[in-house]
Amino acid sequence: MALTGIQILKMLPKKNCGECGIPTCLAFAMKVAGGQIEIGECPYVSDETKATIGEASAPPIRVVKIGSGDTAFKTGGETCLYRHEKRFENPTGIAVLVSTDMAEADVEGRIERFKTLRYERVGVLMKADLIAIKDSAGDQGTFTALVQKVLDGAPDANIILMSEDAANMAAAAKLCGDRNPLLFGATDANVDDMAALAKESGYPLGCKGSNMDNLIEVSEKALAAGLKELILDTGARTLRAAFEENVVARRAAITSKYKPLGFPTITFACEMTDDLMMEAMIASVVMAKYAGIIVLSDLQGDILFPLLLEQLNIFTDPQRPMVVQEDLYNINGPDENSPVLITCNFSLTYFIVSGEIEGANVPSWLLIKDTEGLSVLTAWAAGKFGADHIAQFMKKAGIEDKVKHRELIIPGYLASMKGELEEELPGWTITIGPREAGHLPAFLKEWKPAA
Ligand code: SF4
């Protein structure tokens, strides 16, 4: 059973030194209990305590890390069946397949698309995460050559090595160094050798079953070998089977704490159809139902982008609005004569407003006030975007040192605040901006500081 924060606190050194990045041991213990921070972040706990707490506070779906550094991919860590119960922790990873039986140009095209199909939305970089490299012919030389090509060609790709031949897998794994690939292909025929390789290298292991029962046998053997990071393939190669088995595995792990299925799953959409659009549909369904990784046969913008948007929707925390940092943002290189605008820190508002200002090509100062992620009117109604708060924030942001004029443009929806703001900001003129961000470009192009 999971430990409570108080139980964890009893095992901590209680120095309250803050070296873990959290000011007190109690707050740290609560975060460990909530799965928000790893026990290893406290440098003073013994290995024995780490093992005890780590095991007891581990989420029912274990976290598995593939790759290393800033671009490492993490999956699992899930603690609930439905997003509204808490939140889903780690977004489903999207992988593209390359294999030894593909023409060189096809491999290179996939690597290129992996590197270039990247999108930035609401401050988040959205992209595919992994490249799965398949040893189709069982030939070690061809497989290792392809692995090297991907390692060199896509330095930030997280790697899935796919082979059921333990010797080929070992040769490919040797090339990967600290890239920390997933070794995918432990079956009931080779699990002992694959588990030994995973243990020796420290890489996560992918277990593949011909059906759910067979997968459980493979997973149990990998667990018995002492492995802690597994990715599971139930062998499902139809949408219906993949959907059902993902649900069964998640339920067994979450509600029954069934360890052999307490790991993220991988879905091979690429092996379920020859139609790229159908692949996208399959990927979309299993992303909503618990897939840890989805492997696609190719990456195309019109298929990848909607999947990434779905991923963004499902894996944002429903209890926490997305926010940007409170600050004074300069857009298009403003100077002392540029307009000054203010709005809230709800990230959607920020990106829409800043996008319109950027598009208008008018150098501007944009003050972003922390409203805890609430939108303009909601923040105002909740007392987080009142005249007194705005006045304090403007002083803190130092806008008076940046501009010669004294004119502040406020969102059109806050027109009723004008008088109150002018009282709080003596010497400033308050101008009512447009209600809709889309009207900002025309407004700004006409704008001149009040005389
Ligand atoms: S580093 Fe350890 S001892 Fe220091 S505050 Fe954090 S939990 Fe407590």
Q: Which one-letter amino acid corresponds to residue 145?
A: A
- Whole-structure pTM value: 0.77
Beta strand ranges found along 107-218 (DSSP E): 118-121, 124-127, 130-134, 158-162, 182-186, 205-208
Nearest Cα to 342, choosing from 263, 421, 272, 240?
421
Asked whether 59 and 77 are in contact (CB, 8 A), the reply is: yes
Among 10, 17, 50, 53, name the best residue to mutate to test ligand 1's pocket (greatest count of ligand atoms within 8 A of Cβ).
17
* CA 58 to ligand 1 centroid distance, Å: 19
Q: How far apart are the first and last CA of the chain?
A: 69
Q: Which tokens belong to 304?
A: 């990848």
Regarding the beta carbon of 23 and ligand 1, being less than 6 Å apart is answered no
Looking at domain 327-446, which of 3.60.21.10, 3.40.50.11600, 3.40.50.970, 1.10.3430.10 is its CATH number? 3.40.50.11600
Give me the tens of pLDDT residue by residue for the chain, a chain 451 residues long: 568 889 899 999 999 999 998 999 999 998 888 767 878 889 999 888 888 887 777 789 999 999 999 899 999 999 899 988 888 999 999 999 999 999 999 999 999 999 999 998 766 899 999 999 999 999 999 999 999 999 999 999 999 999 999 999 999 999 999 999 999 999 999 999 999 999 999 999 999 999 999 999 999 999 999 999 999 999 999 999 999 999 999 999 999 989 999 999 999 999 999 999 999 999 999 999 999 999 999 999 999 999 999 999 899 887 777 788 899 999 999 999 999 999 999 988 998 999 999 999 999 999 999 999 899 999 999 999 999 999 999 999 999 999 999 999 999 999 999 999 999 999 999 999 999 999 999 999 999 876 6
Q: Which tokens belong to 15?
A: 């120095």
Residue 26 CB partners (closer than 8 Å, separation 6+): 5, 9
**Rounded CA separation 155/108 (Å):** 14
Tell me what pLDDT residue 122 has: 67
Asked whether 26 and 11 are in contact (CB, 8 A), the reply is: no
In degrees, rounded to 5, the angle at the alpha carbon of residue 23 between the alpha carbons of residues 22 and 24 is 100
3-state secondary structure of 182: strand
* CA 343 to ligand 1 centroid distance, Å: 38
Length of the chain: 451
**Rounded CA separation 249/258 (Å):** 9
Task: Let me know if the fold of 5-49 is the same as that of 327-446.
Answer: no
Please state the atom number of ligand 1 nearest to the C-alpha of residue 45: 2
Q: Which one-letter amino acid corresponds to residue 384?
A: K
3-state secondary structure of 133: strand
**Rounded CA separation 122/345 (Å):** 12
Tell the CATH topology of 5-49.
3-methyladenine DNA Glycosylase II; Chain A, domain 3 (1.10.15)
Regarding the beta carbon of 236 and ligand 1, being less than 6 Å apart is answered no
Tally of CB atoms within 10 A around 392:
13
**Rounded CA separation 62/223 (Å):** 12
* CA 87 to ligand 1 centroid distance, Å: 27
For ligand 1, atom 8: residue with the closest CA:
25
**Rounded CA separation 377/6 (Å):** 40
* Torsion, CA 244, CA 247, CA 251, CA 253, rounded to 10: 110
Nearest Cα to 384, choosing from 318, 319, 323?
323
For ligand 1, atom 4: residue with the closest CA:
17
Q: Which tokens belong to 247?
A: 């649900």
Asked whether 154 and 127 are in contact (CB, 8 A), the reply is: no
**Rounded CA separation 138/145 (Å):** 13
Q: Does 2.130.10.10 match the CATH number of domain 64-314?
A: no
Q: Which tokens belong to 374?
A: 């609430």
Q: Provide φ and ψ at 376, rounded to 5°.
A: -50, -55
3-state secondary structure of 150: helix
Regarding the beta carbon of 16 and ligand 1, being less than 6 Å apart is answered yes
Regarding the beta carbon of 9 and ligand 1, being less than 6 Å apart is answered no
CA 227 → CA 101, 191, 198, distances in Å? 31, 12, 8
**Rounded CA separation 187/299 (Å):** 28
Where helices occur in 202-300 by DSSP H, the ranges are 212-224, 239-256, 276-288
Among 6, 25, 31, 46, name the best residue to mutate to test ligand 1's pocket (greatest count of ligand atoms within 8 A of Cβ).
25
**Rounded CA separation 6/25 (Å):** 10
Please state the atom number of ligand 1 nearest to the C-alpha of residue 18: 5
Please state the atom number of ligand 1 nearest to the C-alpha of residue 13: 3
Q: What is the pLDDT of residues 396-419, one digit of tens each?
A: 999 999 999 999 999 999 999 999
In degrees, rounded to 5, the angle at the alpha carbon of residue 134 between the alpha carbons of residues 129 and 138 is 160
**Rounded CA separation 234/293 (Å):** 13
**Residue 125, burial from CB neighbour count under 10 angstroms (0-12, 13-18, 19+):** exposed
Domain ranges of the chain: 5-49, 64-314, 327-446
The sheet that has 407-410: what strands, in order across it?
A: 327-331, 364-369, 340-344, 407-410, 429-432
